[in-house]
Amino acid sequence: MHMALNSLGLMPGMDQGAVPRLLLVDDEPRLLSSLHDLLKDSGYQLVTATCGSEAVAQLMKQRFDLILLDLRLPDLSGHEIMDFINAKGIDASVIVLSGDTDIDAAIGALRRGAYGYLRKPYPHEELLKTVDNALQKRQLEAENRQISWRLACSEKLYRYLVDSSPDIIYTLNPEGQFTFVNDRVQQLLGVPREELIGKHYSSLVHEEDLERAHYVFMERRVGDRASRNVELRLKCVRHGRVERAFEHTLMTVSFNSMGMYSAEKSSGSKQFFGTYGVARDITERKRAEEQISYQAYHDILTGLPNRVLFRDRLEQALIQAKRDATELAVMFVDLDRFKLVNDTLGHVKGDSLLQQVTARLKASLRRGDTLARIGGDEFTVLLPELRDRRDAGVIADKFLKCLDQPFYLDGHELHVSASIGIAVYPDDGNAIDDLIRHADIAMYQVKAIGKNGYSFYDNSMLDASGQKIILENSLRRALEQHELEMYYQPLVDVKTGRIIGAEGLMRWNHPDRGLLAAGEFLPFAEENGLMIPITDWMIGALCRDGREWNAVSDRAIRLSLNISPQYLDRGNFSKKLQESLATYGLSPTQIEVEITENICIRKPQYAIEQLNRLCDLGVSVAIDDFGTGYSSLSYLHRFPIHTIKIDQSFVREIVSDNGHYPVVLAIISIARGLGLNLVAEGVETQVQARYLERAGCTTMQGYYFHSPLTRSEFIRALKAQSPVLAAR
């Protein structure tokens, strides 16, 4: 938002040493007076406006360095004032001060160029710091503009600037031969600039890109029609001739202004002398884009295709099978006793085991088969172009035999087996979901008869629904017989090492199967309509335990709980939570509700209304497993979000202090830019904790700090971090 240069040729914002002038805009007299009093002793010139039109009048009358702007004004909105500032090219920074909790208001302000966005009521120290930073930034920008202006006026300095550019800058004659190139070409490509003069551009371009390169390097157009952002691969003679990717922004030299055209006197036409171009190295960006694209379709831990890519390949295989009248098979593979490894050796060892299992399964496949990991210890397999269904049985036998050999993890000898279900097209279904579901049913049949085997799907397996009824009744009795129990995963502030919160995790003390994690029974509860009574129990237990912790803690502990979309749809959640909070005397500000991307699959508008009711109570909302679903970013536009939780799959990727993990950094940047709280899940190593802290995430949970604790264990942990309480 810089004004055009004035007639004296001076750069804007260069009145160094002048007292900064601030415009304060708010329609609330009390708030405006308070803001004025807060800033008056800081050495600023302060001007106030109580409405949008008054603010516009002040902006037209005098120059301001900084505007502190309320969004909700009686005549013009803050967004409209920012649009006016941008349209008029007014050189002023903007800090928005708003009580509006709508995320769209914040995004709208940031898109219009706001330096900062503070929600009312804001801490005075934060406002003063933001104002100071904004003014310092303007001062630095003014100084940079002065430097750039002097460089532009000096041919000698201009030459230095060209040679110091991070980009390759070059000119070509009409035959495509280099007539000038700066020193950057040697730094990036290892070719001395002197050797390139007189050589054809094709000597640098990758053979596969020569056709596109012709239009780039022989560009004759100017202005907006010139070639822009064309990506080419250039040959690099350094580091083993690694090829690098470049983005070209080209234009023809404007010879009129530079005196490089020779106009023929007879016709007055202009003679073309060559092409001017700038090539920016985007190799690292391309690698980051490829990595992000890869992660969208692959499991980070094993490198296998994920559920999305598997379904896509299955869809293509079905089309081919229908066209060729051939068979294909879908396998559902679930590891037996894998939970025992995680519980006894930890998730790091469990991940290592999954990687070893993956390597063995892949070695047993044919060329063209697809092995995918769809979550936890579950895999799916696509076997296209079967001669007959017995081929699938051969692959299943290979899987079982390769898993029969022991696995070794840091001196531990482990044995795992697998239960495998197989569905064959077209006998067992001709649609993607049918084949996957039937393979899943066949797998559970193997589980039911002893595990470590495989079974083809048969329609008679549908009778196994009777077993589901038994499990449903057991789950219903679990509520009546108090078999459910809450465990708590502590949230730790790594700067102080203190427990500042906890995530509630449900466990089932099954009379026959022992302690079951939520993932082993909640999916079934959702499928059979038991989520509402189970979640009702969880809310009551969480509030009861929170009251007990408040009695032994020297500060309020924030409690978070995961809520299923089904419960938001039908559970009258806000009313029930309000009743539980009142019953146990717990403050709503201690509760945070965690949602996932599945919430937008059902009734998103109704869910938004429910969450807004929670926010009205004082309850905050977090996105759990952020970045793993299609709709994660859309939450920031549609839902009242306060906290982002970095999914453990991204955290697990952090293996080096000096590594670069763009997805993690992107999520932290999003949270910081929108003023949201940030929590990292599944932190299991010191390297992960240290990297996240340096990147700006200071609240974490995971086995590195604490495993999930029972209620009494959590109380002991709270007392241990307070000497006064520990002495009680």
pLDDT surpasses 50 at 506: yes
Looking at per-residue confidence, does 311 or 722 come out higher? 311
Q: CA 494 to CA 500: how far, in whole Å?
A: 10
| The predicted structure's pLDDT at residue 252 | 26
- Percent of the chain having pLDDT more than 70? 82
pLDDT bucket at 13, cuts 50 / 70 / 90: very low
Instruction: Determine the longest span between alpha carbons in the chain, in angstroms.
Output: 104
Is 568 a residue whose pLDDT tops 70? yes
For the chain, the first-to-last Cα distance in angstroms comes to: 61
Q: Give the domain ranges of the chain.
A: 21-152, 157-263+270-284, 292-460, 484-723
pLDDT the model gives residue 15: 55
Write out pLDDT tens, residues 672-685: 888 899 999 999 99
Q: For residue 46, what are the contacts with CB-CB under 8 A and spacing of at least 6?
A: 21, 22, 24, 36, 39, 40
pLDDT in tens, 448-478: 777 889 999 988 776 554 556 666 678 888 8
Arithmetic mean of pLDDT, 481-485:
90
The pLDDT of residue 602 is above 90: no
> Token pair of 273, please?
């002398």
Alpha helices in 553-619 (DSSP H): 565-570, 573-584, 604-617
> At 560, which helix (H) or strand (E)?
strand 558-562
Can you tell me the mean pLDDT for 698-723?
A: 89
- Looking at CATH, the fold of the domain delimited by 21-152 is given as Rossmann fold (3.40.50)
Assess contact for 646 and 627: CB atoms under 8 A: yes
Dihedral sign, CA of 288, 292, 294, 300?
positive
Over residues 410-418, mean pLDDT: 85
pLDDT for 322 equals 92
What residue has token string 């919430």?
A: 599
Interval 372-390: pLDDT, tens: 999 889 999 999 989 888 8
Per-residue pLDDT at 220: 55
Pick the CATH number of 157-263+270-284 from 3.40.50.1100, 3.40.50.80, 3.30.450.20, 1.10.10.10: 3.30.450.20
The predicted-structure confidence for 244-291, as pLDDT tens digits, reads as follows: 555 544 332 222 222 233 445 455 566 666 777 777 777 777 777 778
Q: Residue 274 in contact with residue 176, Cβ under 8 Å?
A: no
Query: Where does 484-723 sit in CATH, by number?
Result: 3.20.20.450
Q: Is the pLDDT of residue 610 over 90?
A: no
Instruction: Please report which confidence band the pLDDT of residue 10 belongs to, taking 50, 70 and 90 as the band edges.
Output: very low
CB 659 within 8 A of CB 652: no
pLDDT at 601 over 80: no
Per-residue pLDDT tens for 470-480? 666 788 888 88
- Can you point out the beta strands (E) in 29-83? 45-49, 66-69
The confidence band for 310, taking pLDDT boundaries of 50, 70 and 90, is very high
Confidence label for 660 from pLDDT (cuts 50, 70 and 90) = confident
- Cβ atoms of residues 356 and 407 within 8 Å: yes
In this structure, whether the domain defined by 292-460 belongs to CATH 3.40.640.10 is answered with no
The 10s digit of each residue's pLDDT in 215-249 is 666 655 555 555 556 777 777 765 444 555 555 44
Contact 179, 274 (CB under 8 A): yes
Give the SS3 label for residue 660: coil
**Number of other CB atoms surrounding residue 214 within 10 Å:** 14
Instruction: Determine the average pLDDT of the residues in 92-112.
Output: 87
> In 481-595, which ranges are continuous DSSP H helix?
522-527, 531-552, 565-570, 573-584
Average pLDDT (575-589) is: 90
How large is the average pLDDT for residues 513-527?
80
Most confident of the following: 247-251, 366-370, 608-612, 639-643: 366-370
Structure tokens at 279: 């090539």
CA distance 466 to 131: 67
Query: What does the pLDDT read at residue 6?
Result: 34
Q: Is residue 304's pLDDT more than 90? A: yes
Structural contact between residues 384 and 368, judged by C-beta atoms closer than 8 angstroms? yes
Predicted confidence at residue 17, as pLDDT, reads 60
- Does the pLDDT value for residue 398 go beyond 90? yes
Amino acid of residue 612: N
